[in-house]
């Protein structure tokens, strides 16, 4: 069953307001690289989103919204991104598309949905885009995934690459530590980025690498780089929104917390609980009197 459906604005508070701006396109994102180099374009802004309401709030401020497989941990409390399914990604991506009008919506391809062959990747990507209406997919990997990136790109599926620390490979990597501290690993990451860019990726996420690697990749590939734990010199930046908002007590070193939403929510829940227990809530303003 398709997850793309229209919400009745008369009955749902989640229905988006009328579109105040035109949605960006994948070519416009790709072309930002040259504009940044020429000093006529701003760095790309990307945040994760998993729900309609978060998409609504962030959409006017972002160039891209990423429906990341990080939803496995953020939304479902899973130990890693590995257990995330295509169906989970499709449902959340559809919600983000419904909640946005401006940003390019990119959806992660989950572990096991694209690695076996380019044909498997095409079928998975086509499913995600059909079910959600997202504009592009993102997949992890470098040289080994370059043929798959080319296969998808040649068939009309825009692909965002992802190199460096690749969370889906956490079991092989042995953890979430920064990558590229040895020269051999640094060379591999740079080679990976070049391979996926040359294969047709319209942008490349660089995650959790020592800064010189991110700078070298940014200066050598022809498509925008989007850093997360990489460098301010990347062509754009991405963070998990819930980390940035301070909804979790423990966050990676590369995250800047722009608020304390966890504290805010906890304090309001405590105030609500106190009023319920003292019968201070609800008052006459929140109840219905007989006519």
Spell out the per-residue pLDDT of the chain, length 291, in tens. Answer: 344 444 554 445 555 555 556 899 999 999 999 999 999 999 999 999 999 999 999 999 999 999 999 999 999 999 999 999 999 999 999 999 999 999 999 999 999 999 999 999 999 999 999 999 999 999 999 999 999 999 999 999 999 999 998 867 665 565 556 776 899 999 999 999 999 999 999 999 999 999 999 999 999 999 999 999 999 999 999 999 999 999 998 888 899 999 999 999 999 999 999 999 999 999 999 999 998
With respect to residue 155, please indicate whether it lies within any of the assigned structural domains: yes
Domain coverage including residue 262: 26-286
Residue 289: the pLDDT is: 94
138 is in an annotated binding site: yes
153 is in an annotated binding site: no
Residue 18: the pLDDT is: 53
With respect to residue 18, please indicate whether it lies within any of the assigned structural domains: no
Q: Is 207 a catalytic residue?
A: yes
Q: Against a cut of 0.85, is the pTM above it?
A: yes
Give the bridge partners for 147, in sequence order. none
CB 143 within 8 A of CB 200: no
70 is in an annotated binding site: yes
Q: If we measure between CA atoms, which residue out of 229, 183, 177 comes closest to residue 206? A: 229
Catalytic-labelled residue, pool 154, 207, 216, 249:
207
40: CATH: 3.20.20.60
211 is in an annotated binding site: no
With respect to residue 19, please indicate whether it lies within any of the assigned structural domains: no
Residue 171: the pLDDT is: 59
With respect to residue 7, please indicate whether it lies within any of the assigned structural domains: no
182 is in an annotated binding site: no
With respect to residue 9, please indicate whether it lies within any of the assigned structural domains: no
Domain count, the chain: 1
With respect to residue 51, please indicate whether it lies within any of the assigned structural domains: yes
């Amino acid at each position: 069953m398709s997850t793309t459906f229209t919400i009745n604005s008369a009955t749902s508070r989640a229905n988006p307001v009328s579109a105040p701006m035109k949605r960006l396109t994948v070519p416009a994102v790709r072309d930002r690289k040259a504009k940044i180099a020429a000093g006529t374009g701003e760095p790309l802004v990307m945040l994760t989103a998993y729900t309609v309401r978060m998409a609504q709030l962030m959409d006017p401020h972002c160039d891209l919204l990423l429906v990341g497989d990080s939803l496995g941990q953020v939304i479902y409390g899973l130990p890693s991104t590995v257990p995330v399914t295509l169906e989970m990604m499709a449902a959340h991506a559809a919600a983000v598309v419904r909640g946005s009008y401006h940003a390019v919506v990119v959806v992660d391809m989950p572990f096991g949905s694209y690695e076996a062959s380019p044909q498997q990747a095409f079928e998975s990507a086509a499913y995600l885009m059909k079910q959600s209406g997202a504009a592009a997919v993102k997949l992890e990997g470098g040289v080994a995934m370059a043929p798959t990136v080319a296969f998808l790109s040649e068939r009309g599926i825009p692909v965002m690459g992802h190199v460096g620390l690749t969370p889906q490979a956490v079991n092989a990597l042995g953890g979430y530590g920064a990558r590229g501290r040895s020269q051999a690993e640094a060379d591999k990451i740079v080679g990976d980025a070049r391979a996926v860019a040359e294969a047709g990726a319209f942008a490349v996420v660089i995650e959790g690498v020592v800064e010189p690697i991110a700078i070298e990749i940014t200066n050598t590939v022809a498509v925008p780089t989007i850093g997360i734990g990489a460098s301010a010199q990347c062509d754009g930046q991405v963070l998990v929104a819930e980390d940035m908002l301070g909804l979790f007590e423990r966050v990676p070193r590369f995250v800047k917390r722009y608020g304390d939403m966890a504290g805010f929510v906890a304090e309001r829940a405590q105030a609500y609980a106190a009023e319920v227990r003292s019968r201070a809530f609800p008052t006459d303003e929140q109840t219905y009197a007989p006519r």
